[in-house]
Amino acid sequence: MTTKGNAALVRRLDQSTRATLLELLFDVVFVAALALTSKLLSEELSWSGGAKLLLMLTAVWWTWSVTTTTTEFYDPQQRPIQAILMITMVASVGMAASLPMVSIGHLMVFVISYVGTHVSRCIILVTALHLQGHRTIRERATRFLFWFTVSGVFWVTGALSETPNWGLWTIAITIDLVAAAARYPTPRLGRIPLPQYGRTTEHLGERYQQFIILALGDIILLPTLQVSRGHLDHLRLASLLCAFATMLLLWQIYVFRAGELLVAAGSKGSRATRLAPFTHLVMLAGVASTAAAFDLIVTRPTGTTPVPWLVLIITGPTLFVLGRVLFTMAVSWVVPWRRIAWQLLPLLVLPWAGGWPPVLVATIVALGLAGHILFPGAARETTPGLRLRQPDD
């Protein structure tokens, strides 16, 4: 039996789908952490450094994603949910502030911020739902608490020495991702029922769009800050214009036809909802790489392109398009071959691109992205069966 208190805590399907002001403020804090990750990536051009930053980016993104799922399932106007948002914002500041020094001393700050956010969120929900007497929804929060406690052991253990134990941290973030993909199977409780994923509203799609749009701003923010520290010649200006064009093209690729998170009735809707955090993580990795690439390009737009730079310039947009392709497939089972074909253009020039100026390589990549928009093709990326879920009567 659902109590009135629980009815107030769990979001109604006919409730407003507009994001609250606190949710928008919550996004800004996380985008700042993403910008810092991009800056660190431009300074750490190695495979090992990139892998470590990807792990931390995943942790930052997973914190945002799980918290956003919370505000989708529960009413963000209620006090317990607002408390969760504010605690998460404070923790995200700790995660962002510790990123530059996580390898040499601030690792425990990062871990406490990450683990503390997830565990405290679950405790608040379990306590509030227990007081309201709603067993089914309390079990949902209990499943989250169980798995974040399990992964938290590895996070904390990996931070007990002076330097991070990247092996244990890799196990920890893998537990977080796999548990979510498996719907948090918990002893005696089982997995989260699929209908709980299927009750998604347009609010979640709006939240993803808002975050991606804010994140894309980093592509122009980082090179602009870099240029502001020195002189602005015509080649640096060309690099800035290329960064701006790339940002606009990636935005258009994201929103085109299936840009919003479509929620279908039944299993399709639950599948799209469950896979959206993973596909958007790939897109965010692409945004971070692209922003890092232009942060480098504006410092030296001419001369030959070093291999690490070349990898960033081409890989960033490619990762974004790959995430967008996977997102389309998760929503509609349609493979957007047109997107895949256009993204092959920069790869065709890869053998010769190392001898070209960085700004020229970035321009060719931007032309490949423009093909997605200028020649959209006739194939639809959504199927007629996909529709927004209507509120239950």
Domain range enclosing 334: 202-374
Asked if residue 386 is part of any domain, the answer here is: no
Mean pLDDT of 66-80: 86
Is the domain of 103 the same as that of 222? no
Asked if residue 383 is part of any domain, the answer here is: no
- Check pLDDT > 60 for residue 259: no
Number of domains, the chain: 2
- Check pLDDT > 70 for residue 4: no
Is the domain of 346 the same as that of 228? yes
Is the domain of 90 the same as that of 16? yes
pLDDT at 14: 64
Mean pLDDT of 211-240: 88
Asked if residue 393 is part of any domain, the answer here is: no
Residues 6+ apart with CB under 8 A from 15: 75, 201
Task: State if pTM tops 0.95.
Answer: no
- DSSP symbol at 265: S
Asked if residue 390 is part of any domain, the answer here is: no
Is the domain of 158 the same as that of 221? no
Share of the chain above pLDDT 90, in %: 35
Is the domain of 179 the same as that of 271? no
Burial readout 310-326 (b: 16 or more C-beta within 10 A, e: otherwise): bbbbbbbbbbbbbbbbb
Asked if residue 388 is part of any domain, the answer here is: no
Is the domain of 170 the same as that of 111? yes
pLDDT at 155: 95
Is the domain of 171 the same as that of 41? yes
Mean pLDDT of 340-349: 75
Last residue of a domain, one of 168, 192, 216: 192
- Check pLDDT > 70 for residue 73: yes
Is the domain of 208 the same as that of 182? no
Asked if residue 254 is part of any domain, the answer here is: yes
pLDDT at 8: 66
Asked if residue 257 is part of any domain, the answer here is: yes
Asked if residue 286 is part of any domain, the answer here is: yes
Q: How does the average pLDDT of the chain come out, rounded?
A: 82
Is the domain of 209 the same as that of 181? no
Question: Could you count the other beta carbons within 10 Å of the beta carbon of residue 344?
Answer: 10
Last residue of a domain, one of 192, 214, 239: 192
pLDDT at 101: 74
pLDDT in tens, 85-135: 899 888 888 888 888 777 666 788 899 999 999 999 999 999 988 877 677
Is the domain of 173 the same as that of 306? no
Is the domain of 250 the same as that of 168? no
Mean pLDDT of 206-232: 87
Helix boundaries (H) for the chain: 4-9, 21-43, 47-73, 79-98, 107-132, 135-157, 166-181, 194-198, 202-216, 218-228, 234-255, 267-297, 307-332, 337-348, 350-353, 358-374
Is the domain of 316 the same as that of 254? yes
